[in-house]
Structure 1
Amino acid sequence: MKNIVVTGGSGKAGRAVCRHLVDEGYEVLNIDMQPSSDPVCPFYRVDLNDRGQVMDALQWTGGKDHPFRKFATPDAVVHLAAVPAPDLLPEDVTFRNNMMSTYNVFDAALRTGIKRIVWASSETTLGLPFSPQNPPAYAPVDEDHPMRPESAYSLSKDLGEEMARQMQRWNPGTTFIGLRLSNVMEPADYERFASWQDTPRFREWNLWGYIDARDCAQSVRKALHVDFVGADHFIIANADTVMERPSADLMREVFPDVPMRGAVEGRQTLLSIEKARRVLGYEPQYNWGAP
């Protein structure tokens, strides 16, 4: 599992994933529409909404000395490319882009013999944005929480998970791992966290969660190697919240009627990562208090 194609490798999570995989000794190809600001690996410009271009990217043979020749048979695809959040583009544009690009990547990977796909689903599938009017069913939220997409973006991720399940069913022996990523943060973003401390409702929408881009990269690497065949999904967040206050206090103030499942200690995340810990061996290494 050494030759990895990363779609969206120029984005916020993608840059961290490409750098981490390269640092760990992988051969990585970034396919995206724009080059990365951190060009640690070869870049190939591909419109993922064009199925022919995606097939070309995954079947690349190159010349004898071409730097992409090693990707004639990728070992896995990490699919991160997407319109990355709601409200950035009109709803229909977001939905069409995310659905078609995901279908094209999944389909092309299977047709070229790639048996492992790790891809970015989203925490938003669980009902975000949460509010006192739209609270979670319980907390900490885990993978058993009802799927409640509230936007075209989250609906595209919800349907992407169903697409993964059905395509895996058509192709026994393959592995699809969807990572329900929390709000991706880089170290430079941590400067903003101080401004949130007096207004807990500013970040209530995702239960004060986040994921350090470097821990996102770790979760991708763990998903590439976990001994698993099938289709599954995992919440990926950091072990703490973006707040200095204890998580139980935040829930009592903002979501007093939401049932708590088990004890929540200190600033423990309210987006449960227990399944990712248990199955993937994921364990966050970074946090905003000590980046």
Structure 2
Amino acid sequence: MKIVVTGATGGAGSWIVDHFASEGHEVLGLDLERPAGEHENASFLAVDLAEQGQAWEAILAHDPDAVVHAAGIPRMGETTGTETFLTNVETAYHVFEAAGRAGADVVWTSSESLYGTAFAAEPFLPDYLPIDEAHPQRPEDGYGTSKLVGEELAAKTVRKHGISVASIRPSWIQYPGEYHTADEREAFDPETADPAGHFWSYVDVRDVVSIVEAALEADVDGHEAYHAMAAENYLGRPTTETIEAAFGDLPEDCALEGEESAFSTAKARRDLGWEPAHSWRDAETAAVDGPAFLAD
């Protein structure tokens, strides 16, 4: 396939470029700056995707079969909430519209933050556990709201252009050998723990790559959203006991067992044949080379 990957020098984006180029696909990577290194089967352009003309020219000239949109500001706290919202919405709008005009299907990185729990001013419990893709979405912050609007833009693009868009909702993305979960686990004390709106969930970047590939290979009809989380929390503690200790309560409807993730990935398993393959227990100390073109 001919694939455009946005956010090509970022965390998840660089791993996506590396994987598809290594598999022999013709990849065009777009980001604000070009990487210093090269990759066989991949070329790179410096593009500001918040500028419509740049985004459209770069994508349409490549005439892609698919677009993987991983660009944007990845969380609250990087810049102001306003800038986070505007950047993420503008880039999504321009990329989706260009993909639609090219007749290219889209897979993009949305977020579990659109449920609102992750960056809420006052932490709150979900309506039920485990959380599935149908759970109500109540973001209060610029990042979560940008992902909520992004999914509405995805649905708009499907209606207008007839392509498919898969919105992948990962939790906290971790990188083999560089997990940040160990420090949080070691510091966790159920007697004093603050509520965590991601409910101590995470996902290995390699599992993000694999669900993107599964979504591109699947026959996604219209716009669909899929969770991408590891099978268990990263604390090594029973999930319901941990949530109850930190929040002081549990939803009345709670069907979690053991260390099971607070987010269900059943839909991705059913529709895409995808399951997470990596756990913090092995990945925290795994020696895995990242995308070489970033290090050159």
Match of 1:100 among 90, 109, 112: 90
Deviation larger for 150-159 or 125-134:
125-134
- The answer for the alignment partner of 2:47 in structure 1 is 46
- Residue of structure 1 equivalent to 2:6: 7
Partners of 1:265 and 1:16 in 2: how far apart?
32
Letter in 2 for 1:33: L
Percent identity over the alignment? 36
Check conservation: 2:101, 2:161, Cα contact below 8 A: no
Please give the secondary structure, in 1, of the residue aligned with 2:280: coil
Structure 2: runs of 5 or more not aligned: 284-296
Residue deviations 1:220-253 (CA, integer Å, cap 9, x gap): 0011111122011111111111111121321332
Partner of 1:217: 209
More deviation in 23-32 or 159-168?
23-32
Match of 1:34 in 2: 33
**Alignment check: 8 A CA contact 1:175 1:229 kept:** yes
1-structure distance, mates of 2:252, 2:46: 47
Normalization by structure 1: what TM-score? 0.88
Structure 2 CA distance for partners of 1:191 and 1:155, relative to 1, 3 Å: closer
The 1:195/1:50 distance shift into structure 2, 3 A limit, reads: closer
Residue 185 of structure 1: aligned partner: 174
Q: Which residue identity lines up with residue 2 of structure 2 in the other structure? A: N
Q: Is the 8 A contact 1:130 1:204 kept in 2?
A: no
CA distance in 2, matches of 1:101, 1:195: 32
Residues 136-192 of structure 1 show CA distances to partners (whole Å, capped at 9, x for unaligned) of 1121111121101120111111011111112211223x1011011111110233265
Q: Which string of whole-angstrom CA distances, capped at 9 and with x for unpartnered residues, describes residues 83-131 of structure 1?
A: 11112111221111111111100111112232x0111111100122278
Q: Which blocks of at least 5 consecutive residues in structure 1 are unaligned? A: 61-70
1:237: which partner in 2?
Answer: 229
SS of residue matched to 1:28: strand
Write the letter of the residue equivalent to 1:32: D
CA root-mean-square deviation? 2.0
Shift of 1:52: 1.0
Matched, 1:280 2:272: yes
CA gap of 1:277–1:38, structure 2 versus 1, over 3 A, is farther
Cα distance, 1:101–1:133 mapped onto 2, change above 3 Å: closer
Matched residue, 2:158: 168
Deviation at 1:133, TM superposition (A): 4.3
Distance 1:51 1:196 in 2: 43
Q: Residues 42 and 203 of structure 1: is their aligned pair in 2 closer, same or farther, counting only changes over 3 Å? A: farther
Code of the residue aligned with 2:279 in structure 1: it is N
CA contact (8 A) 1:140 1:260 kept: no
